[in-house]
Amino acid sequence: MTWLAWRQFRTQAIVGAACLAVLFGALLFTWWQVRGLAVSTGYTGCTGNDCQNAADSFLDEIEQSLAGRVQLAGVGASFGLPALVGVFWGAPMVARELETGTYRIAWSQTVSRRRWLLVKLSVGGLAAVLVAGALSLALTSWAQPIDDAHATLAHANLITPLVFSTRGVVPIGYATLAFAIGVTAGLMLRKTLAATAVTLALVVATQIGAVELRPLIADPVHRVTALTAERANMVARMNDVVTRVEGWPSETDSWELSNTIVTTPGGPEYRGPTDQEKCTPDCREWLGAQGLLQEERYVPARRFWLVQWRELGVLLTLTAALSLISLWWIRRRPA
């Protein structure tokens, strides 16, 4: 049964491996360019305050080079991989057999329904783990100097939504969940085209929803501090009247969820005085003397791996739940 499942799945696996090989080739081709730019800009081996200028120069050079375009392609591939796995691997794996009736060959032999589905889940799920893990490992290793440079400049790089889902172990969770979504949709709908459309919609919704729900497992820091003249970052005006006041983040290398100026903790956002003469010519000194508060919610960069493992656990739990639902469902549907 395992050999048969592999035979049926091998075309998709070969295509996926070929696409992955192309991306790996691009990463390998620009590997030494990234390291060479780190050396030529002085970032490699820098010490002290010189590192910030060198890191800034290094990132500017990366942005203008071929490596910068390869990085964008790698990020795009990481975000698109779950949808591709779900649509081209998961959805057709069961739906095509149910639609064409070829499943009856296996079910009429000694192979039980559950074993038939479990083998398909195992083969496709293992392939999804290998592809997602290999892509994440390659991209994380390739971008290590770039990520280090962002950390030197105290940029919130790894913990932000744009990068977080392309590094570490989380891509494995999204790929396996997408595959389970595809198999479940195919099993219930029994039509390949319908299962493909539903799988794509659910996978995209899952990725978007994960960003919104991530703060729940990230346990963000809630901090309320006094606003000083030095912490006042920007004062927005309209017709010389202050309409918004912003403050510098307490930790610049964090994922900022909210940053507001208030008069009392949890109160409404401070919109500024109505007397424009109080803020002439510069509001910062005046604002620093008004007893205003800066209320922030953010996820520090140091929690990157903690959030990674927590999110992976949630994704694998959902994958296991969908797999169990599929195994339960197939026992109760007519042949």
pLDDT per position as a tens digit, 150-187: 888 777 678 888 889 999 999 999 999 999 999 999 88
Structural domains counted in the chain: 2
Domain that holds residue 248: 221-302
Task: Decide: helix, strand or coil at residue 274.
Answer: coil
The two beta strands, 232-238 and 241-247, are: antiparallel
Q: Are residues 209 and 327 in the same domain?
A: yes
Q: Are residues 26 and 133 in the same domain?
A: yes
Q: Are residues 230 and 207 in the same domain?
A: no
The pLDDT value given to residue 42:
86
pLDDT value at 9 more than 70: no
pLDDT value at 14 more than 80: no
Q: Are residues 98 and 15 in the same domain?
A: yes
The pLDDT value given to residue 134:
92
Report, as an integer, the average pLDDT of 203-230: 90
Q: Are residues 308 and 298 in the same domain?
A: no
Please enumerate in sequence order all residues whose Cβ is within 8 A of that of 85, keeping only pairs 6 or more positions apart, or say none. 16, 128, 131, 132, 175, 178, 179, 182
Q: Are residues 173 and 267 in the same domain?
A: no
Report, as an integer, the average pLDDT of 194-220: 92
pLDDT value at 195 more than 80: yes
Q: Are residues 189 and 90 in the same domain?
A: yes
Residue 262: its H or E element: strand 255-262
Distance CA 158, CA 166 (A): 9
Q: Are residues 33 and 14 in the same domain?
A: yes
Q: Are residues 126 and 256 in the same domain?
A: no
Report, as an integer, the average pLDDT of 66-73: 89
The pLDDT value given to residue 237:
60
Confidence of residue 277 (pLDDT cuts 50, 70, 90): low
Average of per-residue pLDDT values in the chain: 83
Between residues 238 and 178, which one has the greater pLDDT?
178
Q: Are residues 25 and 162 in the same domain?
A: yes
Q: Are residues 285 and 314 in the same domain?
A: no
Distance CA 118, CA 106 (A): 13
